[in-house]
Amino acid sequence: MLLTEVEPSVNPLMPATYRVVARRVETDDVVTLSLEPTSGPSLLFRPGQFNMLTAFGVGEVAISISSAPGAPGPMEQTVRDVGAVTHALCTAKVGSTVGVRGPFGTDWGVDELDDSEVVIVAGGIGLAPLRGAISYLVDKPGRTGQVYVLVGSREPDQITFPDDLERWERDGAVVKVTVDNGDAHWHGAIGVVTTLLPTISFDPARTVALVCGPEIMMRFTVRGLADLGVPLGSIRVSLERNMQCGVGWCGHCQLGPLLICRDGPVFAYSEQLERLISERER
């Protein structure tokens, strides 16, 4: 499948209405909504881009698109219930409507990676923004580079998309999952996600890494990948900041000279980006 350049809706500040056609509970605080436009064609998007989703009467938040472009069925967005708006979205009933503005921002650039090995590292809900990219890579005919999917989760019952993890493995990806804290039923790896890096064998010179999760996890993962020889410029991360307009007008998502909604959310890693993230953390 060819990924086309996509443009947000004609007026990027005007939400289109989408109907919730299915709602899947992923974990105790994560829900995936399947969304179809109430009129007109479905959105064209690239893996890694996000939409601004409106829970009418409550507010609007940035949420990544978690389905693959061109996949059969409705667009999916996976939401973690952390506050007023995400709670309203997570509890939206099938048949109700939400607002959608987008798609916005940069993407994972998966269509450039046919010959590369791709190491994907996800922490927690960070698998959602990567899910479409992984499906695209695994399903694309003629790709030669191996795909590695490394997932870290706090606890076994917090692991999202278990069916996809199995499917990707069946279809040729190397998939490894670790949890911070196991339980009586968990027989897999225990430890933070970076402990999985030395367990896979890849050629760092022809590897591109896609990393998404809490910022601290991304920084440690970047360090681990760099220690194994992956050049910083071959590592892409997705950043989150509070967003309002989503189109580079309001300045809410500023990080130094960058606007995360316009210049990101997906960035090639660099020492400058590392400095910006670390300065903000101090």
Cis previous bond, 162, omega within 30: no
198 by DSSP, 3-state: which?
A: helix
Q: Quick check: 80 binds ligand FAD (CB under 6 A)?
A: yes
Q: Cα–Cα distance between 8 and 51 in angstroms, integer?
A: 9
Name the binder of 86 from ligand FAD, ligand FES, none, CB < 5-8 A by kind.
ligand FAD
Name the binder of 90 from ligand FAD, ligand FES, none, CB < 5-8 A by kind.
none
Stretch that binds ligand FES, among 74-82, 94-102, 157-165, 244-252 (CB under 6 A): 244-252
Stretch that binds ligand FAD, among 21-29, 57-65, 203-211, 227-235 (CB under 6 A): 57-65
Say if residue 28 is exposed, middle or buried (CB neighbours under 10 Å; 0-12, 13-18, 19+): exposed
- Helix and strand counts by DSSP (H, E) for the chain: 6, 15
Question: What single-letter DSSP state applies at residue 95?
Answer: T
Q: Cα–Cα distance between 163 and 186 in angstroms, integer?
A: 17
Name the binder of 207 from ligand FAD, ligand FES, none, CB < 5-8 A by kind.
none
Name the binder of 50 from ligand FAD, ligand FES, none, CB < 5-8 A by kind.
ligand FAD
Of the two residues 50 and 202, which places its CB atom closer to ligand FAD in the complex? 50
Q: Cα–Cα distance between 153 and 158 in angstroms, integer?
A: 6
Asked whether the beta carbons of 219 and 177 are under 8 A apart, the reply is: no
Stretch that binds ligand FAD, among 124-132, 159-167, 190-198, 202-210 (CB under 6 A): 124-132
Give the largest CA-CA distance in the chain.
53
Q: Quick check: 83 binds ligand FAD (CB under 6 A)?
A: yes
Q: Quick check: 102 binds ligand FAD (CB under 6 A)?
A: no
The least CB distance from residue 50 to ligand FES, in Å, is 11
Q: Quick check: 213 binds ligand FES (CB under 6 A)?
A: no
The least CB distance from residue 213 to ligand FAD, in Å, is 11
The least CB distance from residue 112 to ligand FAD, in Å, is 21
Positions in 255-274 near ligand FES (CB under 6 A)? 259, 261
Name the binder of 249 from ligand FAD, ligand FES, none, CB < 5-8 A by kind.
ligand FES
Q: Cα–Cα distance between 65 and 80 in angstroms, integer?
A: 13
97 by DSSP, 3-state: which?
A: strand
Q: Quick check: 131 binds ligand FAD (CB under 6 A)?
A: no
Q: Quick check: 245 binds ligand FES (CB under 6 A)?
A: yes
Stretch that binds ligand FES, among 216-224, 228-236, 250-258, 265-273 (CB under 6 A): 250-258
Count the neighbouring beta carbons within 10 Å of the beta carbon of residue 167. 16
Q: Which residues contact 95 (CB under 8 A, 6 or more apart)?
A: 19, 20
Asked whether the beta carbons of 247 and 261 are under 8 A apart, the reply is: yes
> Residue 155, CB half-sphere, CA atoms under 13 Å: how many?
8
Q: Quick check: 50 binds ligand FAD (CB under 6 A)?
A: yes
Residues that bind ligand FAD (CB under 6 A): 50, 59, 61-64, 78-80, 82-86, 125, 128-129, 240-243, 265
